[in-house]
Amino acid sequence: MSPLPQVLLDGLFAGGTYALMAAGMALILGVVKVINLSHGAFFMLGAYVACALAERGIDHPLAGALLAATIAFAFGVFLGKSFVNPARKYPFALAVGTLAWALLLEEAAHMVWGPHPLSVESGAPWIGPGGLVIRKWGVVAFLSSLALLGGLKALLATRPGLPLRLIAEDEEIAGSLGMDVAAIRYLTFGGACAMAAAAGALLSPSGAVTPTMGRAPLLLSLVVVIVAGMDSVVAIFFLSVALGVLGNACAYFLSPQWSYVALLAAVSLLLTARPAGIVALAGRRD
């Protein structure tokens, strides 16, 4: 195994995990206009569902992802319908409310599955040319983030995605055209939560599953979504990968202690240099 390609490949995969979460958050931020701080908690919920299934002998990754997505969709629709829609004129109250919802989910997981971590076998990796280790969960994260973001881009570019784009642009016009804005909003919320839970289910074998495991990926995905701008799918992908590679390279060449700080510093620099986010570069209207 030669270290440099290995570190870069792992960085690519780490970026894939950020992008995977960021895709759902971008959808919510764009259409529902909420900074969803419970996204990490839905990720955690998905991981627990997959673990609980695996403990009962059902360890096919797609089974876990499907069940987790369905459960999260139900909760997401409930949250969207009973909390997000009624309070939608108060973005700040909404952000704090989703944080409270995250605490609620964490505590529920704590009570149902106990405080101790769960863990399932991750399976042996594939060995590529030159002894390169190709981690299975990394491939899963990378490919599914590509699929999700690509699907999102395709959806927004074609006719079925028109209502979403219109609502993101101007809700009043969408409403006056006879669209059920409220329904589309909570369905989008539920769908994005389902995406987070499916991601959690797919990635659950890569580490230990605990009630607070969703907090770390939430932060970096939030960073990616806000900096990249929620309607630029390509920027989200490349920023995620850039952060993943930068973090891993920093950890390997400088010090692992500094890798998180380096990511945050890079984001701070980017923001001070480009106060309106990086998409403004492309001449996006304000």
Partner 1 sequence: MSPWRTLPSGPWADPFRGGWLAAGIGLLLLFPLSSPNAYFIDVFTTGFLLAAFTASWDVIGGIAGQFTLGHALPFGVATYACALLTSVAGWPLPLACAAAVLLAALVGTAMGALSAPLSGPFVALLTLSLGEIAHEVAAGHTFFSGPGGYAWGGEGGIPVTLPWVDAPPLASYYAALCLLCLASFAMLRLSRSRMGLILRAVAGSPITAQASGIPIERFKRMAFTVGSVFAGTAGAGFAVHVGRATATDLSLELSFQAATFAAVGGCGTIVGPVVGALVLHVLLQALSLPPSARVLLYALTLLVTLRFFPGGVVGTVRMAAWRVLRKDGVRPPRAGVGRPEGDGR
Partner 2 sequence: MNTRIGPFLRLLAVVAGSVSSGHIALAASRSDTLKIGVLAPMSGPYAAGGTSFVQAATLAVEQANADGGVLGQQVTIVVSDSQGRVDVAKSEALRLVSQEKVAALVGAYLSEETVGAMEVAAAQRVLLIVPVAATAEITDKVQKEYERYRYVFRVGYSLRQWAELIGAFLSDRGARRYAFVGAGIRWNRELGEALEGIVAPKGMTASYSGFYSPANPAFDPVAVAVAVSPPDMVVLGDPGRNSVSFLKRLREVAPALPVLSVGGALGDARLAASIPLSAPVYVQAAAWKGGSPGATAYAEKFEHRYGAAPVGYSDTLPYDAVTVLVAAWRKAGSAEPAAVVPVLERGAFAGVAGTYRFDAAHQARWGTGPGDLRGTVVRWERDGARIVFPPH
What is the SS3 assignment for 209? strand
* Distance between CA atoms of residues 163 and 240, nearest Å: 27
Q: Which stretch binds partner 1 (CB under 8 A): 46-54, 131-139, 239-247, 270-278?
A: 270-278
Decide: is 85 part of the binding site for partner 2 (CB under 8 A): no
Partner in contact with 62, chosen from partner 2, partner 1, none, beta carbon below 5 to 8 Å by kind? none
Instruction: Tell the smallest beta-carbon distance from residue 120 to partner 2 (Å).
Output: 6
Instruction: Tell the smallest beta-carbon distance from residue 99 to partner 1 (Å).
Output: 7
Check: CB of residue 232 under 8 Å from CB of residue 22.
no
* Distance between CA atoms of residues 183 and 187, nearest Å: 6
What is the SS3 assignment for 4? helix
Candidate list 2, 3, 89, 130; residue touching partner 1; CB under 8 A = 89
* Per-position DSSP letters for 88-138, written without gaps between them: TT-HHHHHHHHHHHHHHHHHHHHHHH-SS-B-----PPEE-GGG-EE-HHH
Instruction: Tell the smallest beta-carbon distance from residue 54 to partner 1 (Å).
Output: 26
Q: Which is nearer to partner 2, 85 or 119 (CB)?
A: 119
* Alpha carbon distances (Å) from 228 to 75, 199, 212, 251, 279: 28, 21, 26, 24, 6
Decide: is 77 part of the binding site for partner 1 (CB under 8 A): no
Decide: is 112 part of the binding site for partner 1 (CB under 8 A): no
Q: Which is nearer to partner 1, 103 or 234 (CB)?
A: 103
Decide: is 147 part of the binding site for partner 1 (CB under 8 A): no
Decide: is 186 part of the binding site for partner 1 (CB under 8 A): no
Q: Which stretch binds partner 1 (CB under 8 A): 133-141, 184-192, 216-224, 245-253?
A: 216-224
Cα 33 versus chain centre, distance: 16
Give the H or E element holding residue 38: none
Candidate list 268, 281, 282, 284; residue touching partner 1; CB under 8 A = 268
- Count of residues that interact with partner 1, criterion CB under 8 A: 39
133 bridge partner residues: 127
Candidate list 96, 112, 173, 177; residue touching partner 1; CB under 8 A = 96
SS3 content of the chain, % helix, strand, coil (to 5): 75, 0, 20
* Alpha carbon distances (Å) from 52 to 63, 64, 139, 165, 217: 11, 9, 23, 37, 21
Residues that bind partner 2 (CB under 8 A): 1, 3, 6-7, 10-11, 13-14, 107, 110, 114-122, 124-125, 133, 135, 206-208, 210-212, 216, 219-220, 247-252, 255-261, 263
Residues that bind partner 1 (CB under 8 A): 35, 82-83, 86-87, 89-94, 96-97, 99-101, 103-104, 106-107, 110-111, 219, 222-223, 226-227, 257, 260-261, 264-265, 267-268, 271-272, 275-277
